[in-house]
Amino acid sequence: MTMYADALNRLYALASRGPRLGLDRVHEACEFFGRPERTFEVIHVAGTNGKGTVCAFVANMLLASGKRVGLYTSPHLVNFSERIRVNGNPIEPDTLAELLNSVMDLGKELTFFEVATVASFLAFKESGVEYAVLETGLGGRLDATNVVPRPRVVAITRVAFDHMDELGNSLAAIAAEKAAIIKPGCAVVTGRLHPDAEQVVQSQIEASNAKLVALGSPEPIPGKPLAYPRIAMFGTNLAVATTIAREIGISPDDMSRGIESTSWPGRNELLHRNGRELTLLDCAHNPDGAVTLSHVLDPGLLGEIESRREIALVFGALDRKNWRAMLRRLEQVAGHRVFVAPPIAGHSVDPREMAALLAGEVAENVQQALVRARSMVGPFGVVVVTGSTYLVGAARALLLGLQPDPPIDM
């Protein structure tokens, strides 16, 4: 693993450059490598929440239809290689190291995310993928993934307040950044958008001579239940994914098989030990995501749980997030709370500050938070871990005994 670890150390050192939104550097790198981003069809997905889930569903439906598929998402939960997948499998560490180093050797002053994006394009080209499902990293207009030519389908899942320093202070402004991945002539699928955002997206569709595809049913075969946990289907993410699948010609049977085979860790993911010690992991990291999670946490949807006294919330957040609004939206969902800092040095909210806002205990680390939360609800209660992707990733590694790569706020 030395080559892989060395490549990650080199890549992580680029974090000091920050996001540095823009497309010129990525275009130059792609030109050097022979335009790898032009060697496959693209499904391009943007949105404040739900875009990773939509990408996972679409990638698996394409796989079920017999296509060779690349999937690029961010950030990672446990291992960096999760970000770049071919046919459902994370890229091999040594192969990933070679690709990352080849991109960094260019000396183009690329950022962390730009290097990862170009490396994903190279991986997909070398693997001969037919479709690449790409999740934007930040916004859309100046996101590194937006160097791709016209996608087969563009999706805008949700538009809500997040990353306002970079994207703007209104839903219209944020929507404009995300809708800028729409290119002339492509098909466009949207989730249920706020009217302010919907108007902006519609204007971009008309200006680009693109085609709006009406949001369809989440059921591939109407009236035929899916063998998929209903908790993970909450919201419109599945409807967006199935609408994309219909647009690109995936059959209902292949759609069903793809959905039923989808695993998307950390997003409404329910872990357990022998049917006991249930832990729900959810990467809700903004108020909009917290609202969705609050609906999922109705005790009636959690099997044998009868009241919120049987639910313990483990919560932590980054200081740039509107964590106060998140906590208010989650105030009524759990009878117990444990606050802990996500393992991102210098970016986490002090859990004592959270406890001052809303009654709860403070833990020194994620392991302690999980142990304390479990003691509060016993073996038959539910521990809910949320507030930060990085907190969820750390908890998942601990619960499953995984060896994580270092987390990074990129």
Domain boundaries, the chain: 2-260, 269-400
Q: What is the CATH number assigned to the segment(s) 2-260?
A: 3.40.1190.10
Can you tell me which residue has the tokens 């970000």?
Answer: 83
For residues 136-146, give the mean pLDDT: 89
With a cut of 90, say whether residue 55 has pLDDT above it. yes
Give me the pLDDT at residue 231, please: 44
For residues 323-333, give the mean pLDDT: 92
List, in sequence order, every residue forming a beta bridge with 69; answer none if it has no partner. 131
Higher local confidence (pLDDT), 403 or 229:
403
Give me the pLDDT at residue 232, please: 47
pLDDT digits (tens, 9 = 90+) for 39-48: 999 999 998 8
pLDDT digits (tens, 9 = 90+) for 236-273: 889 999 999 999 999 999 999 999 899 889 888 888 87
pLDDT digits (tens, 9 = 90+) for 87-115: 999 999 999 999 999 999 997 889 999 99
Q: What is the CATH number assigned to the segment(s) 269-400?
A: 3.90.190.20
With a cut of 80, say whether residue 398 has pLDDT above it. yes
With a cut of 90, say whether residue 24 has pLDDT above it. yes
With a cut of 50, say whether residue 159 has pLDDT above it. yes
With a cut of 70, say whether residue 302 has pLDDT above it. no
Would you say the pTM of this structure is higher than 0.85? yes
Count of residues in the chain? 410
The model's confidence at residue 163, banded by pLDDT at 50, 70 and 90, is low
For residues 180-193, give the mean pLDDT: 94
Can you tell me which residue has the tokens 């483990």?
Answer: 314
229 CB burial (10 A radius; 0-12, 13-18, 19+): exposed
Give me the pLDDT at residue 59, please: 98
pLDDT digits (tens, 9 = 90+) for 214-234: 999 888 888 777 776 544 445
How far is the C-alpha of 297 from the C-alpha of 213, rounded, in Å? 32
Q: Which of 29-33, 267-271, 399-403 is predicted least confidently?
A: 267-271
For residues 288-313, give the mean pLDDT: 74
Higher local confidence (pLDDT), 236 or 329:
329
Mean pLDDT of the chain: 90
Give me the pLDDT at residue 172, please: 87
How far is the C-alpha of 409 from the C-alpha of 76, rounded, in Å? 10
For the chain, state the CA radius of gyration.
Answer: 21
With a cut of 70, say whether residue 165 has pLDDT above it. no
Whether 2-260 and 269-400 share one fold: the answer is no
For residues 12-16, give the mean pLDDT: 89
With a cut of 80, say whether residue 21 has pLDDT above it. no
pLDDT digits (tens, 9 = 90+) for 370-389: 999 999 999 989 999 999 99
How far is the C-alpha of 314 from the C-alpha of 93, rounded, in Å? 32
Among candidate residues 150, 206, 197, the one with its CA nearest the CA of residue 178? 197
207 CB burial (10 A radius; 0-12, 13-18, 19+): exposed
In order, the DSSP letters of 49-72 are: SSHHHHHHHHHHHHHHTT--EEEE
How far is the C-alpha of 203 from the C-alpha of 173, rounded, in Å? 13
Neighbours of 1 (CB within 10 A): 10
